[in-house]
Amino acid sequence: MGVQVHLPATAGSFLLPVTLCILTLLPQGLLGKSGDEENTRSSALLQRVKRGWVWNQFFVLEEYTGLEPLYIGKLHSDMDKGDGSIKYILTGEGAGTTFTIDDSTGDIHAIQRLDREVKSQYVLRAQARNRLTDRPLEPESEFIVKIQDINDNEPKFLDGPYQATVPEMSRIGTSVIQLTATDADDPTYGNSARVVYSILEGQPYFSVDAKTGVVRVSLTDMDRETRENYTILIQAKDMGGQLGGLAGTTTVNITLSDVNDNPPVFDQRLYQMSVPESAPVGSVVGRIWAKDRDIGVNAEMKYSIIDGDGRDTFDISTDATNLFGIITIKKPLNFENKPSYTLKVEGANTHLDPTFRHRGPFKDVTIVHVSVEDVDEPPLFGSPAYYIELLEDAEIGTVVKTVSARDPDAANNTVRYSIDRSSDPEKFFYIEITSGMLMTVRSLDREEVGWHNITVLAMEMNNPTQIASVSVAVRVLDVNDNPPSLSHYLETFVCENAKAGQLIQTVTAVDPDEPLGGQRFYYSLAPEAANNPNFTLRDNQDNTAWILTRRGGWSQQDQTVFYLPIFVSDGEQPMQTSTSTLTIRVCSCDQEGNVMSCNAEAYSLPASLSKGALIAILACIFVLLVMILLMLSLRTHRKKPYLCDEEENVHENIVRYDDEGGGEEDTEAFDIAAMWNPREVHHPLGKIRQDMMPEIESLSRYVPQPCVIGVGSGEDSNVHGYVLAKLLEADLDPCAPPYDSLQTYAYEGEGSVAESLSSLQSGTSNSDHEYDYLNDWGPRFKKLAEMYGVLETNTPPMW
């Protein structure tokens, strides 16, 4: 049996028909036999099945543009009787999307446009199955569909446009750049990918190799200084450049790089410059330039002074760009000594190209004339700086140094000296104004200030604006004037379980002095502790000492703190000593020597008392304190008087009238004489006010009035007797109120400087009342001041 693969006419013109032969048929068991027959022939199923067809390759042209699907070929099995019982299956790359198969006829079509440059071949698999049982009739076979190329892609320069550089003055044929065009067509099929290069623009300066694409120089002596940039157009054409081939182009921008082919030339043959004589060393005088048409390193210059009377006074260097020459001052200038200088300067290229030496020499020479300008210069010190060493115990008034300065000008003006106080703010030094003698005015201490950097000023008398300065560095040398002292550890501890001879502390000392031979300290116990029974000291001869115990059996209950005086001395002359006290506490420690407690009171607490119990006790104490404070507060409130009005709102009156009088100035409302002579109340002899009557008559008319001989007058009775009579009357009358008449006014006295005159609450004070304040209330209360005997005069009291 055989299978024919029918190809379309387009493919047939390029390919031979492919005949597929089926060598054998599959067993009938694959077509649906019963299970018994399958079991009886199981051995037959295990036999090798020969392939019923053998596939070759299919070839199809790319870029099919027809409206109908492209017919590729036909698959046909010898077992196909044409009754539709066989179904053809197509799987693999592009099956169902790019390629389809008619499952009844086996016709294969391409339903999408094929592009070899996208995918050059497809691997497919075909199989014939029983349409009813879907069982394979033959094993699956694989075949390839290759896409045949056509010339549908032009050459492309993938990296264009290009940038290239070639040195100027290059010879003909010098390679500039190699270009490569890429053609996506199949290079193994025809001339579709055979590329040929040509130049469309850029002649006669450059050319291109037709096969290799190398661009070369085709014109000699191309000068960058004349023209620097060129743009050429290169074409790449396939089909070997034949008519009908596809072409692509790109541009190449070519820059001529510089070479040193031009010598430098000064733009001036003579330079005139001037500089003031006061210009400091290093100051710039001027700038010169030897121009070079080249650029970059080829234009870099080196300048030098090759002759002239200013070779030792001036210097020349190249600036940061290596193009210009900078003339600077090498030595101080003095107009009085030399007013002008002449320099011969040479400028030369630093990078020479041997190829162009014949164009040299690559250097040039010019003349520079420098004039020195006269200026009024400040004073000039004899030294640029001064360094002085001085012992710190130097006496006040010691001359440290004599500085001198002079006027460098021809006038030679007188110079006066002073100290810049910003350099000596604490005024340790003084300088004599005319002689320049620098001396001390305060005691020096190296430990406080080891260096004094003083600025001394020199000023011309005739021109105070001309001021010069010089630095005077004074180093204060050390003198052994400070005693050593213990450092850091002034308190330590000893464990209760410490034994005799145990080290408890290592002590060191510090000394602010700095002897030349280094520090050396000596330790010992102070004389009063030399026979200390508890501790001893061992000097280790290395500026340290050990504190050791002399005994054991330490207990906080016996003593909690020990004080150990330590005597320290240094080894310099004069020797300095000091005594420091080391505090040693007795502490309870664990077996490793770690401190557990240094508080002796901790031993008096019962062992079973926990933190919770302590907190409870403290809480109870706090509650008791709060209750006591509350009781005291309630007791204080209970002692307050029932009258809750303020003191100035409580008053009393013995006699009340329906209307208030006008005060002490109203002589009609009440006769004050009745207070001085109670008898006159019953036998008034003066004016009596008739417009009102007292609501309560005075009880004095019913009480016999004793005669009291007055102190100042025999005919007037004393008020003291009247008051005593009233008190007696009140004491004898059990029904009498505590007061003659009590009237309370809520706002009496408000707004008055006297405020309330009530005597209520006056009994709270055990001291006698002081009425001196009545004198401060003005003339309205003068009468009261007289009654209570608080006049400012020396009048004796009334009682």
- Are 188 and 279 found together in one domain? no
SS3 281: coil
Q: Which amino acid is at 269?
A: R
Single out the residue in 477, 502, 518 at which a domain terminates: 477
Backbone phi, then psi, for 619, in 5-degree steps? -65, -40
- What sections of 643-795 are H helices per DSSP? 673-676, 719-732, 782-787
Count of structural domains within the chain: 5
616, part of any domain: no
719, part of any domain: no
15, part of any domain: no
Look up the domain containing 71 and give its range: 57-148
Contact indicator for 271, 367 with CB cutoff of 8 Å: yes
Task: Identify the H or E element spanning 492.
Answer: strand 491-495
- Note the pLDDT tens digit of each residue in 376-385: 888 989 999 9
DSSP code, position 488: S
247, part of any domain: yes
pLDDT for 148 equals: 80
- Note the pLDDT tens digit of each residue in 238-259: 888 888 789 999 999 999 999 9
DSSP code, position 26: P
Q: Which amino acid is at 53?
A: W
Single out the residue in 90, 119, 148 at which a domain terminates: 148
Measured distance CA(675)–CA(723) in Å, rounded: 10
- Are 144 and 173 found together in one domain? no
Q: Which amino acid is at 158?
A: L
Measured distance CA(719)–CA(673) in Å, rounded: 11
Backbone phi, then psi, for 521, in 5-degree steps? -115, 150
| 601-617 mean pLDDT | 63
Torsion angle in degrees (nearest 10) through CA of 65, 67, 68, 72: 0
Tokens of 497: 């379980």
578, part of any domain: yes
Measured distance CA(202)–CA(207) in Å, rounded: 8
- Are 410 and 306 found together in one domain? no
- Are 269 and 366 found together in one domain? yes
- Are 191 and 246 found together in one domain? yes
Lowest mean pLDDT among 491-505, 640-654, 692-706: 692-706
What are the strands of the beta sheet with 70-74, ordered from one edge? Answer: 70-74, 107-110, 99-101
Contact indicator for 388, 428 with CB cutoff of 8 Å: no
- Are 168 and 224 found together in one domain? yes
SS3 2: strand
Let me know the angle formed at the C-alpha of 335 by 333 and 336, rounded to the nearest 5 degrees.
120
- Are 460 and 526 found together in one domain? no
- Note the pLDDT tens digit of each residue in 578-591: 888 899 999 999 88
- Note the pLDDT tens digit of each residue in 456-493: 999 998 888 889 999 999 999 888 888 888 887 688 99
What CATH number is given to the structural domain containing 207?
2.60.40.60
221, part of any domain: yes
- Are 269 and 318 found together in one domain? yes
Single out the residue in 104, 127, 148 at which a domain terminates: 148
- Note the pLDDT tens digit of each residue in 557-569: 888 899 999 999 9
517, part of any domain: yes
Of all residues in the chain, the percent with pLDDT exceeding 70 is 75
**Residue partners of 520: CB distance under 8 A and separation at least 6:** 543, 570, 571, 572
- Are 251 and 269 found together in one domain? no
- Are 326 and 389 found together in one domain? no
Burial 588-597 (b: 16+ CB within 10 A, else e): bbeeeeeeee
Band of pLDDT at residue 628, cut at 50, 70 and 90? very high
Tokens of 477: 């040398």
**Residue partners of 623: CB distance under 8 A and separation at least 6:** none
Measured distance CA(307)–CA(560) in Å, rounded: 93
Closest CA to 126 of 68, 62, 64, 52: 52
343, part of any domain: yes
pLDDT for 230 equals: 95
- Are 464 and 507 found together in one domain? no
Band of pLDDT at residue 31, cut at 50, 70 and 90? very low
Measured distance CA(49)–CA(137) in Å, rounded: 11
Tokens of 174: 């010098």
pLDDT for 164 equals: 95
Question: For tokens 């003659």, what's the residue?
Answer: 740
- Are 334 and 360 found together in one domain? yes
Band of pLDDT at residue 760, cut at 50, 70 and 90? low
Q: How many CB atoms lie within 10 A of CB 77?
A: 22
Measured distance CA(794)–CA(791) in Å, rounded: 8
